[in-house]
Amino acid sequence: MRIICNTNTDVYFHLAAEAHLLEHSDEDVALIWQSHNAVVCGKHQVVLKEVDFPYCKQHNISIARRISGGGTVFHDSGNICFSFIKSYQDRQQAVDFRSHTQPLVDLLRSMGVPAEHSGRNDILSAGLKISGNAEHLNQRRQKVLHHGTLLYSSDLENLGNAIRGHVANYSHHGVESVRSKVANISAFLNPPMHLDSFKNQIADYLRVVFPNSRLDDYQPHELVAIKQLSAERFVQEEWIFGYGPRYRFERELETPAGMLACTLSVEKGIIVEASVSLNDMVLSALSEELPGSFHHRPDWNNLSLMLPPGVPLDLFENAFY
């Protein structure tokens, strides 16, 4: 097994690396990595339902979609991600989350952290979530991607604000995140340990767990392919916002001019039908202008010219999320 600890902090690079190695690597691989501030949604989620989009935009938190299912997770410099890309013979064994998370649980326990598996696919400590996990199978190649987060010293307030719940109503058939109370692993360590030391211990432990493993890095041809895949897929709005299921969005918002109501039907991230009303009076110009735009970024400059008196643009934007 190759164990790769890469210092790149671009979340899209690492998501592309997982996808590329899953498709092209003949050897098993373990990845240990970190990224800049980001929320990473599952493959089958409605992104705008899962994240606080205005907050993420204001605080420079990247929004990404991975190839595995499951719920939304938060990354920052205090979070360590691990990824296993392994061959399997038995499909049932491949989707056994515990077989992949057990090495991490054992390592944490050896450090004095009371880690345990949850009834779902998380790792808990004292009943609080410290790790979220997800998987994706490549059945053609009989490969499984298992990846997870390890909240070590993350900004938990930032995490809560970035993926908090919404007052708007989203109707869809996609996957919704299950909100959990979270904690940092560092809070359970005595004496404390620097994050880099913790990360190095993960790599050292995996070398023990997986015989004949070695520390490695991406080869030049792999870097070229990964960066190309990142640019062509993982940074693209069509993947991030457009891949999820179709949905219906409804929200009402009090404005100085009265009650503003917005209803949208969205497919592949694009508004296909819209109805905007003020005090039950349909605003035809706005309703007809919205279809064809991405839900997350309609043409605000053009729409602002159509707003009725007493409806500021910032309130109108709030009605969209």
Residue 148 CA to residue 135 CA, distance in Å, equals 9
| pLDDT confidence bin for 136, thresholds 50/70/90 | very high
Taking each continuous run of H as one helix and of E as one strand, the counts in the chain are 12, 17
Residue 55 scores a pLDDT above 80: yes
Give me the domains of the chain, ranges plus CATH numbers.
Answer: 2-240 (3.30.930.10), 247-318 (3.30.390.50)
Q: Average pLDDT for residues 308-313, to the nearest whole number?
A: 92
Residue 3 scores a pLDDT above 90: yes
Give 234-288 pLDDT, tens digit per residue. 999 999 999 999 999 999 999 999 999 999 999 999 999 999 999 999 999 999 9
pLDDT of residue 173: 78
- Predicted model pTM: 0.95
- The mean pLDDT of the chain is 94
Residue 93 scores a pLDDT above 80: no
Which is higher by pLDDT, 120 or 131? 131
Give 169-221 pLDDT, tens digit per residue. 999 877 778 778 999 999 999 998 999 999 999 999 999 999 899 999 999 99
Residue 89 scores a pLDDT above 90: no
Q: DSSP assignment of 169-202, as one string?
A: EEEESS-------B--GGGG-SS---HHHHHHHH
| pLDDT confidence bin for 97, thresholds 50/70/90 | confident
pLDDT of residue 180: 86
pLDDT of residue 121: 86
Residue 319 scores a pLDDT above 80: yes
- Show the 3-state SS of 48-96: HHHCCHHHHHHCCCEEEECCCCCCCEEECCCEEEEEEEEECCCHHHHCC
| pLDDT confidence bin for 6, thresholds 50/70/90 | very high
Q: Average pLDDT for residues 37-42, to the nearest whole number?
A: 98
